[in-house]
């Protein structure tokens, strides 16, 4: 009897629980229906003005402001300027194991125009997400500039003035760069203006100043500075810059006979400039070696032999998917 009584009580309790769940469910459904009906009721008043609201929202999104670089301006692929230029202690540059700032895309020359797409505010700084015709935005990425380097403008500024220097002047600039350190994203041997007081919280030690101001050049940055910003800033553009020289199937001896001063030996990732008929010049990253590489000259034939151990000459840069293991020669100026 005790067992049957307990069973009855358990069934009664279970029925009460089920009833409570059912009531809660019904109440939820009723509330949902009420919310939905209320929403539709209110929506009928919003529908007539939706086109106006949409128009206004898109107008604000498309409205762009502009600016120009006040001086040599570091452009990063990250908005974290303070972390890059101050690192953890406020006086150290954030670098990888090869001593390079991988966030640095390039250094915009004075007068470079920007489209200011968005404003990012930090505790004590403002950073803009930007676009510029002087440098392509990385695929899947973005470009950022600290506001202190930008002169804001309400109207779109003209393009940066460009003039191709004489061949002799370019050659002279290239030779003057020999010995400069390799700096990823760098294209000004002298570096940017002293960043002390801009990003750093501590005094920069004298022996570290050159590195902190990004003094040096990478491979395409060497050519960019020597040409006064006339040439494209990265190798992805240089592979199609100027006119192609037919070199497919030729050996190193034949190539030496074909190449002219200031021809570019280039692939997507590196560029070498023919200095004269016997010499090339380039800025190479040599991780682990003293200084991690830099600008140096090499005998033309020797460098061609090195390249052709892993790459073959092509008349034009191949379509995507067939670019591995080739190089091209681009002739962009007549000495």
pLDDT score of 208 more than 60? yes
Confidence of residue 55 (pLDDT cuts 50, 70, 90): very low
The closest of 62, 166, 153, 174 to 111, measured between CA atoms, is 153
CB 70 within 8 A of CB 151: yes
Q: Which of the pair, 210 or 246, is modelled with greater confidence? A: 246
Q: Look at strands 326-331 and 312-313 and give their pairing.
A: parallel
Average pLDDT over residues 100-119: 96
Q: At CB < 8 A and 24+ separation, what contacts does 38-43 make?
A: none
pLDDT in the model for residue 242: 96
pLDDT in the model for residue 123: 74
Average pLDDT over residues 24-39: 42
Residue 253, classified by CB atoms within 10 Å of its CB into exposed (0-12), middle (13-18) or buried (19+), is exposed
Torsion of CA 42, 43, 47, 48, to 10 degrees: -10
Give dist(CA 228, CA 241) in Å, integer: 16
pLDDT score of 54 more than 60? no
How far is residue 98 CA from its own chain's centroid?
Answer: 19
How many helices (H) and strands (E) the chain has is answered by 9, 16
pLDDT score of 14 more than 70? no
pLDDT in the model for residue 163: 87
CB 225 within 8 A of CB 165: no
pLDDT in the model for residue 44: 44
The pTM (predicted TM-score) of the whole model is 0.78
pLDDT in the model for residue 186: 97
Q: Which of the pair, 61 or 144, is modelled with greater confidence? A: 144
Q: What is the mean pLDDT of the chain?
A: 82
pLDDT score of 73 more than 80? yes
pLDDT in the model for residue 289: 84
């Amino acid at each position: 009897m005790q067992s049957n009584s307990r069973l009855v009580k358990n069934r009664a309790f279970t029925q009460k629980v089920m009833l409570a769940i059912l009531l809660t469910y019904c109440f939820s459904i009723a509330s949902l229906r009420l919310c939905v009906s209320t929403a539709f009721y209110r929506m009928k008043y919003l529908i007539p003005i939706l086109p106006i609201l949409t128009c206004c929202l898109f107008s604000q999104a498309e409205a762009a402001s502009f600016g120009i670089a006040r001086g040599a301006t570091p452009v990063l692929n990250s908005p974290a300027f303070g972390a890059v230029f101050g690192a953890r202690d406020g006086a150290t540059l954030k670098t990888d194991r090869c001593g390079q700032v991988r966030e640095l895309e390039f250094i915009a020359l004075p007068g470079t125009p920007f489209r200011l797409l968005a404003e990012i505010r930090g505790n004590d700084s403002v950073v803009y997400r930007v676009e510029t015709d002087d440098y392509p935005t990385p695929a899947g990425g973005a470009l950022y500039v600290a506001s202190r380097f930008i002169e804001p403008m309400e109207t779109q500024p003209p393009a940066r003035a460009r003039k191709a220097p004489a061949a002799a002047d370019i050659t002279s600039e290239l030779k003057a760069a020999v010995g400069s350190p390799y700096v990823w994203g760098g294209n000004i041997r002298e570096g940017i203006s002293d960043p002390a007081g801009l990003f750093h919280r501590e005094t920069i030690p004298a022996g570290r100043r050159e590195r902190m101001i990004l003094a040096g050049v990478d491979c395409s940055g060497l050519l960019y500075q020597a040409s006064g910003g006339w040439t494209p800033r990265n190798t992805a553009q240089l592979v199609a810059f100027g006119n192609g020289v037919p070199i497919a199937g030729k050996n190193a001896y034949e190539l030496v006979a074909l190449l002219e001063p200031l021809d570019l030996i280039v692939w997507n990732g590196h560029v070498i400039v023919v200095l004269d008929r016997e010499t090339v010049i380039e800025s190479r990253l040599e991780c682990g070696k003293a200084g991690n590489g830099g600008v140096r000259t090499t005998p033309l034939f020797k460098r061609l032999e090195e390249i052709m151990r892993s790459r073959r000459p092509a008349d034009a840069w191949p379509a995507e998917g067939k670019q591995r293991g080739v190089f091209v020669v681009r002739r962009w100026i007549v000495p």
